[in-house]
Amino acid sequence: MRKICNICGGEYKVVTINGKEMYKCAFCDNIAEKEDEKPASNVNSRTNIVNYAEKGEDVFDANINSVMEITGNNAKSRFSGSGFMIDDDGYAITNAHVVTENGNLLQNLKGYICGRTVDLEVKAVGSPNPSVGEDLALVKLRSVPAGMKKVKLADSKSIRNGQRVFVIGNSLGLGTCITSGIVSDKRRSVNGQDRLMTDCAINGGNSGGPIFNENGEVIAVVVSGIDEAEGMNFGIPVDIVQYFIDRTLSRVK
């Protein structure tokens, strides 16, 4: 590693003066003791912080068997979205608009997870209309693939503006991928509904998928974005999702 003189910016060379190794600038002859440098442990400490902040690979590996690609169709069109598992019996959360069209359930609903395609059954549906209810749905896999895992839901009180987040989902219906960003606003009113705002790259097909914190915990469910804006995407906060789960899961089991 090059050692730079703090006076002229020149490069230090190692010399021996009175039997002691010192640094001497090749340009201005400034002498500096080697002990005056910052210890290497300080550099390692900063490196560790950066690595901790960039751990999307850990979030992906921990949750790839928890996120589901969802497909369905009506008489004319095919639709795609995402969802995530909330218990070991095959129940999952997605958006109501992922499994319905104009209030009617889509046909041939299927989930792809753990390398298998499984039929889906809709158990409870909210409503995308803010005056009626939340854009959430509870669905169930008709059979549970080996290796499937349920997600962990975060404590909503732990969410902070600016924290790093990750979205895993079926972007544009082209298969599962991960994107990253930050929480732009942990609570914002959008059309009368409470939403979490993020600058994560989100596209059609991500709807119903999870937004994770760095610990791999779900902090929101992807629900919408503003096409005309850059990096203004929204999720349903985890406390609202938890309330929906509590209200529906015990009723259908």
How far apart (Å, rounded) are the C-alpha atoms in residues 160 and 147?
Answer: 32
Confirm if 118 and 228 have CB atoms less than 8 A apart.
no
The phi and psi torsions of 214 (rounded to 5 degrees) equal -65, -20
Each residue of 199-229: b (16+ CB within 10 Å) or e? bbbbbebbbbbbbbbbebbbbbbbbbbeeee
- Among candidate residues 112, 181, 167, the one with its CA nearest the CA of residue 145: 112
Active-site residue, 127 included: no
Structure-block tokens of residue 98 = 């992922």
Torsions phi, psi for 173 (to 5 deg): 70, 15
Structure tokens at 102: 């104009």
User: Residue 29 catalytic?
Assistant: no
Residue at token pair 């549906």: 125
- Which residue, among 82, 189, 193, has the nearest Cα to 134 in the 3D structure? 193
**Identified catalytic residue from 66, 80, 82, 97:** 97
Tokens representing 116 are 């298998």
Query: 207 catalytic, yes or no?
Result: yes
Torsion of CA 25, 30, 36, 42, to 10 degrees: -40
Pairwise CA distance, residues 199 & 214, whole Å: 15
Any idea which residues carry the catalytic annotation? 97, 135, 207
